[in-house]
């Protein structure tokens, strides 16, 4: 049975009805549960295994039973580890219904149904006693309830409740403790993700930044990021890494929901503090022998010994464990602070039950001040994601658009700007345009642009239009411009919404950009494919039931192409870039017919083929192109350097193939212009099977 749901087509901007499986939401929740990449983390799995084994042995050596409680069991992996290590009783709890049912089947399949009792509840709802979920309290707790921020999934309340209600007094907890590390840095590249910079050219400033934007603290949400992939020459450490929060998970000391800590730190370099890098580590066992670290490559505990063997940081980055479930994070300081090596600074950290935030104070303080969690007050950080803010600050990108605009703008130019949050559209006035109309249908983006217009005193020559039904008549404009960018777009080609909007006018009106090309390349991801890859056998346990559950739900709910910020993920080209489809944006969309194209692409480099990457090249004119793909020429066998300010489209293969020069990619593309439907299909074949 099917149901119909309302769906906003980002390509056409229209709301339509779409037929979905009646259990679409259920399947989407399963497909997005994101357990897979975590279970591919062998270091995590093995260190949990070792720590569990030691905990169980310790209890037995003390003459006690080993009664294990596994909170948030997921697939049941940790519970099965406990069973194999000889635990006397094991109680696992899992609140997510599809996973609880899946775990029961996995436990049965692996022969542990008589040893593991699964409770379909949150741990905070569990009871202990004669008729309770557990007959008696456990004396070993194993759980993995951490996220990039460590405490963002409610870890503090989970551990506190367990110690108060579910565990004996001298229980062993796996992991035993956690430490949050921070490092203050100067980085214009990091700064550009949070603070909008003026648009400038050689002759002066084209657009200044409102004071409210300059002084804004930024978004409250954590900026999770693969710091190992962040260029090491793009930041300068101002202090050495510092442990700022330590959490005793064993229950010996209380876990506080609200805490502030001040570190008096001597800077190692002078500079301007823009942000704080954060990561954490876990001590897995009570003997402090098993360390699980989420540090970036330059601070990872294994790096020094690998450097002693002559390896570079780039080579080491390919050896240390990769994680997408636990990344590192950036916290933007409320105020930029100058630091010098000869003056001690105060680095203050705060946390509540779920979040962290920080501030830096250069002058001496008598007591640690309170500080509210920073939130956006200017609207920019609410209206636009960090990737978009970085895009607005991309000087080379802006220079290309300005170059194209200069060729077209005269004192008689009346420009219609069709992009969300397009500061370049405002800058067109300073380039000499007579008037600019800006379409801003998104309320948050519109309020932001209004702030920029007022601050730059452009109100007399710029008019904001709130609906595409109110666009100015063709007789009043002579240039249509777009970056193109829209807040509703996810994959790059959805920004072709610009084409649909501009097609409300005849093709006589000049346009920038004039064309768009959807490009592709066959790749080998070093790690990214693990987010969708099958597990099969994990640490000796058969998890294929989980694979079937997730893949069946993914096929029902997921698009075959998803958006990813590929600069964070090591990618090797296995083919040359190839053209999928070119669009002439000077023609109107209603003149275009349905497109059905297919072709093959030769594989040039041997490798493990696990994906195809797609992007769009925007041709501003016959000479200037802005690409959302690679920043440099793509060469088979070499790592691709992706544009960091867009997300590329990624198709991940279910079945990963080892390819040779005898392999080809067979692809097809279907586009129905009147409905805005695009479909891609990819298959790897041997040339002999072509």
Q: For 287-336, what is each residue's pLDDT tens digit?
A: 999 999 999 999 999 999 999 999 999 899 989 999 999 999 999 987 88
Name which of 265-269, 311-315, 471-475, 634-638 the model is least confident about. 311-315
Question: Has residue 676 got a pLDDT over 60?
Answer: yes
pLDDT in tens, 478-532: 999 999 999 999 999 999 999 999 999 999 999 999 999 999 999 999 999 998 8
Count of Cβ atoms closer than 10 Å to residue 343 Cβ: 13
Mark 562-597 as b/e (b = at least 16 C-beta within 10 Å).
bbbbbbbbbbbbbbebbebbebebbebbeebeeeee
pLDDT in tens, 230-247: 999 999 999 999 999 999
Work out the average pLDDT over 600-608. 95
Binned at pLDDT 50, 70 and 90, residue 18 comes out as low
The segment with the largest mean pLDDT, out of 37-46, 331-340, 414-423, is 414-423
Among 65, 153, 353, 562, which one carries the catalytic annotation? 153
Work out the average pLDDT over 406-411. 96
Binned at pLDDT 50, 70 and 90, residue 557 comes out as low
Name which of 344-348, 608-612, 645-649, 656-660 the model is least confident about. 656-660
Q: Measuring CA to CA, which residue among 314, 303, 151, 156 is closest to residue 241?
A: 303
Q: How far apart are CA 288 and CA 115, in angstroms?
A: 29
Is the bond into 175 cis (omega within 30 degrees of 0)?
Answer: yes
Q: Could you say which architecture CATH assigns to the domain 394-483?
A: 3-Layer(aba) Sandwich (3.40)
Work out the average pLDDT over 185-208. 93
Q: What is the pLDDT of residue 7?
A: 59
Q: Is the pTM of this model over 0.85?
A: yes
| 515-538+554-686 and 178-366+373-378 share a CATH fold | yes
Q: What is the pLDDT of residue 21?
A: 55
Q: Give the DSSP H or E segment for 686.
A: strand 677-686
**Cα dihedral across residues 577, 582, 585, 586: positive or negative:** positive
Binned at pLDDT 50, 70 and 90, residue 2 comes out as low
Q: What are phi and psi of 7, to 5 degrees?
A: -140, 125
The strand pairing partners of 669, in sequence order, are 597, 680
pLDDT in tens, 50-73: 999 999 999 999 999 999 999 999
Question: Has residue 24 got a pLDDT over 90?
Answer: no
Q: What is the pLDDT of residue 31?
A: 60
Count of Cβ atoms closer than 10 Å to residue 536 Cβ: 10
Residue 165 CB partners (closer than 8 Å, separation 6+): 126, 128
**Cα dihedral across residues 629, 631, 632, 638: positive or negative:** negative
Q: How far apart are CA 73 and CA 52, in angstroms?
A: 14
- What are the respective helix, strand and coil percentages of the chain, to the nearest 5? 25, 35, 40
Binned at pLDDT 50, 70 and 90, residue 689 comes out as low
Measure Cα distances from 176 to 54, 287, 288, 463, 628 in Å: 12, 9, 8, 60, 45
Work out the average pLDDT over 74-79. 96
Work out the average pLDDT over 385-400. 95
Q: What is the pLDDT of residue 4?
A: 52
* Structure tokens, 538: 């994990």
Q: How far apart are CA 404 and CA 491, in angstroms?
A: 24
Q: Measuring CA to CA, which residue among 375, 368, 167 is closest to residue 264?
A: 368
Binned at pLDDT 50, 70 and 90, residue 12 comes out as confident
Name which of 145-159, 502-516, 550-564, 581-595 the model is least confident about. 550-564
Q: What is the pLDDT of residue 28?
A: 61
Residue 676 CB partners (closer than 8 Å, separation 6+): 9, 11, 12, 14, 500
pLDDT in tens, 298-309: 999 999 999 999
Q: Say which CATH superfamily domain 38-174 falls into.
A: Vaccinia Virus protein VP39 (3.40.50.150)
Q: How far apart are CA 103 and CA 546, in angstroms?
A: 8
CATH 1.10.287.3510 fits 515-538+554-686, yes or no: no
Q: What is the pLDDT of residue 335?
A: 84
Query: What is the topology classification, in CATH, of domain 178-366+373-378?
Result: 2.70.160
Enumerate the domain spans of the chain. Answer: 38-174, 178-366+373-378, 394-483, 515-538+554-686
Asked about 164 being catalytic, the answer comes back as no
Question: Has residue 3 got a pLDDT over 60?
Answer: no
Asked about 153 being catalytic, the answer comes back as yes
Q: How far apart are CA 470 and CA 481, in angstroms?
A: 17
- Of the two residues 442 and 533, the one the predictor is more confident about is 442
Q: What is the pLDDT of residue 533?
A: 86
Residue 153 DSSP one-character state: T
Q: What is the pLDDT of residue 123?
A: 96
Q: What is the pLDDT of residue 112?
A: 97
Indicate the Cα dihedral angle 448, 451, 453, 457, nearest 10°: -170
Q: What is the pLDDT of residue 104?
A: 97
| Mean pLDDT (the chain, rounded) | 93
Q: What is the pLDDT of residue 343?
A: 94
Among 94, 144, 186, 440, which one carries the catalytic annotation? 144
CA angle 474, 479, 482 (to 5 degrees): 115
Could you identify the residue written with the tokens 């900026």? 223
Work out the average pLDDT over 567-576. 97
């Amino acid at each position: 049975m099917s149901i119909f749901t309302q769906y906003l087509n980002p390509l056409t901007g229209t709301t339509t009805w779409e037929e979905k499986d009646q259990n679409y939401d259920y399947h989407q929740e399963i497909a997005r549960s994101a357990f897979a990449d975590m279970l591919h983390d062998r270091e995590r799995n093995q260190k949990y295994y070792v720590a569990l084994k030691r905990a169980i042995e310790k209890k037995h050596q003390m003459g006690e039973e080993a009664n294990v409680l596994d909170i948030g069991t997921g697939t049941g992996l940790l519970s099965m580890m406990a069973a194999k290590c000889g635990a006397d009783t094991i109680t696992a709890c899992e609140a997510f219904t599809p996973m609880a049912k899946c775990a029961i089947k996995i436990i049965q399949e692996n022969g542990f149904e008589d040893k593991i009792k699964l409770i379909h509840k949150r741990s905070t709802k569990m009871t202990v006693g004669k008729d309770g979920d557990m007959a008696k309290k456990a004396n070993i707790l194993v759980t993995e309830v951490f996220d990039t921020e460590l405490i963002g999934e409610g870890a503090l309340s989970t551990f506190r409740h367990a110690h108060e209600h579910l565990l004996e007094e001298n229980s062993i907890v796996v992991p035993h403790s956690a430490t949050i590390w921070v490092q203050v840095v100067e980085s214009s590249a990091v700064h550009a993700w949070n603070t909008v910079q003026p648009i400038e050219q050689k002759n002066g400033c084209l657009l200044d930044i409102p004071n409210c934007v300059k002084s804004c603290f930024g978004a409250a949400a954590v900026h999770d990021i693969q710091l190992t992939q962040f260029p090491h020459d793009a930041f300068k450490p101002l202090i050495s890494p510092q442990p700022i929060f330590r959490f005793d998970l064993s229950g010996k000391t209380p876990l506080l929901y609200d805490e502030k800590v001040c570190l008096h730190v001597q800077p190692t370099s002078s500079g301007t503090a823009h942000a704080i890098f954060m990561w954490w580590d876990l001590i897995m066992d009570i003997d402090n022998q098993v360390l699980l670290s989420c540090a970036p490559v330059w601070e990872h505990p294994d790096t020094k010994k690998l450097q002693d063997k002559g390896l570079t940081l780039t080579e080491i980055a390919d050896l240390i464990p990769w994680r997408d479930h636990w990344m590192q994070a950036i916290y933007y300081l409320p105020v930029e602070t100058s630091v010098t090596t000869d003056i001690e600074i105060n680095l203050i950290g705060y946390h509540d039950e779920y979040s962290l935030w920080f501030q830096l104070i250069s002058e001496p303080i008598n007591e640690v001040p309170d500080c509210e969690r920073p939130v956006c007050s200017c609207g920019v950080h609410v209206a636009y994601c960090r990737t978009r803010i970085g895009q607005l600050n991309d000087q080379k990108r802006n220079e290309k658009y300005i170059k194209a605009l200069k060729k077209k703008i005269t004192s008689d130019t009346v420009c219609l700007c069709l992009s969300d949050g397009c500061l370049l559209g405002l800058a067109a006035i300073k380039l000499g345009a007579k008037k600019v109309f800006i379409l801003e249908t998104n309320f948050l983006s519109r309020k932001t642009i209004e702030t920029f217009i007022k601050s730059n005193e452009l109100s007399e020559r710029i008019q904001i239009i709130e609906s595409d039904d109110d666009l100015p008549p063709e007789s009043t404009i002579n240039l249509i411009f777009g970056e193109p960018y829209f807040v509703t777009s996810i994959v790059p080609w959805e920004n072709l919404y610009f084409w649909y909007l501009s097609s409300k006018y005849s093709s006589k009106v000049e346009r920038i950009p004039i064309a768009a090309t959807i490009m592709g390349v066959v790749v080998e991801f070093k790690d990214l494919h693990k987010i969708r890859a099958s597990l099969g056998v994990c640490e000796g346990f058969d998890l294929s039931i989980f694979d079937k559950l997730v893949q069946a739900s993914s096929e029902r709910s997921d698009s075959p192409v998803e958006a990813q910020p590929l600069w964070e993920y090591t990618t090797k080209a296995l083919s040359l870039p190839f053209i999928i489809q070119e669009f002439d944006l000077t023609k109107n969309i209603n003149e275009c017919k349905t497109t059905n194209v297919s072709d093959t692409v030769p594989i040039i480099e041997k490798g493990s083929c696990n994906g195809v990457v797609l992007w769009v090249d925007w041709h501003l004119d016959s000479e200037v192109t802005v690409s959302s793909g690679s920043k440099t020429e793509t060469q088979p066998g070499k790592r691709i350097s992706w544009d960091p300010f867009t997300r590329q489209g990624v198709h991940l293969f279910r079945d990963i193939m080892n390819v040779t020069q005898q392999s080809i990619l067979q692809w097809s593309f279907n586009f129905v212009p009147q409905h805005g439907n695009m479909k891609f299909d990819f298959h790897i074949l041997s040339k002999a099977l072509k």
